[in-house]
Structure 1
Amino acid sequence: MYQYVGMFMVVFAAVIFVFLGSIEGFSTKGQPCTYSTGTCKPALYTALFSTASFLLGAITSLVSGFLGMKIATYANARTTLEARKGVGKAFITAFRSGAVMGFLLSSSGLVVLYITINVFKMYYGDDWEGLFESITGYGLGGSSMALFGRVGGGIYTKAADVGADLVGKVERNIPEDDPRNR
């Protein structure tokens, strides 16, 4: 599945670059700003920065998903062990591990976004329009990879469900729509 995610990420980044760069004909000279006075950065460089921002957002989303799965796996094992001591201890373990995972994933995205804005600001300077336009790629990259992960996860879940139905049907002679076959 990861080879398809990488391929999707590269193809979509190329489409973003072509669409944003072709707005002004891949111009390398500054354009008049729409919302402020002065000259804004060239469309070609905004397309490059938007594409880089998209790829950075996609990579951040993929790393966050990987870390989230690792943390959830370890948390499930620890919660199971704590459940032997009582429901209260299991709840506390599950709640704390969920909080750690939530804070880790949110803060990693915010830190990468903060660094990206500051690095891009070195090029854009007072051109806030170009900076904001190039940073929007970060959210698009993160959202598209998260969406792709959800779709892929749903496909794997459906495959597991079909496999379980077949095992119950073939090995246990349980009818397909029987509630025991879940």
Structure 2
Amino acid sequence: MPLSPPAPRTARHIRRITYQGFEREDGLWDIEGELHDSKTHDLPSRRNPGRTRRAGEPIHHMWLRVTVDRNLVVQAIESAMDDHPLAGCPQAQRALQAMVGCSMTRGWRQSIQIHLGGVASCTHLRELLFNLATATFQSVESAFQSQGDEPPRHLGQCTGWDFHGQAVKEHYPQFYGHTPQLLKK
């Protein structure tokens, strides 16, 4: 374990999130996300009063498939909720179609908040979408290519890819020392 030894404790909740990226034969990309929440102890079911949800049974088990083009623009979105805690949860899936046409480049999280924020959709689907963009960047090679005189989208987004850092100097010397323009509000 890479962390220091923990204080004595008892596990209560388990969340597993996985992402996978697939290149399609038609030139598009499918990025899939899965979220699975469970408890380590039995608890009453909110969706089915009188029923007990057993330890390890999913409270949330949700899936997303987002299809993007090489420019990271959403072409299609699909979701499934195998398990959810409340009867009304599946209604949140309809709002996801508002993300078709949105770009996963800068402003992705803002687009999610605009189209799916509050009660328009589901907290857990939004969480999957937030980080689905990172999985997309890791899957679609064109995300790491510069667009003419513009640096690749990942530069200037973390310490490792600082425009004044060693990685940019080595791998993208033409953008070393670059000062990005501030986005207009």
TM-score by length of 1: 0.32
More strand by share: 2
More helix by share: 1
The structure whose RCO (Cα within 8 Å, separation 6+) is larger is 1
TM-score by length of 2: 0.32
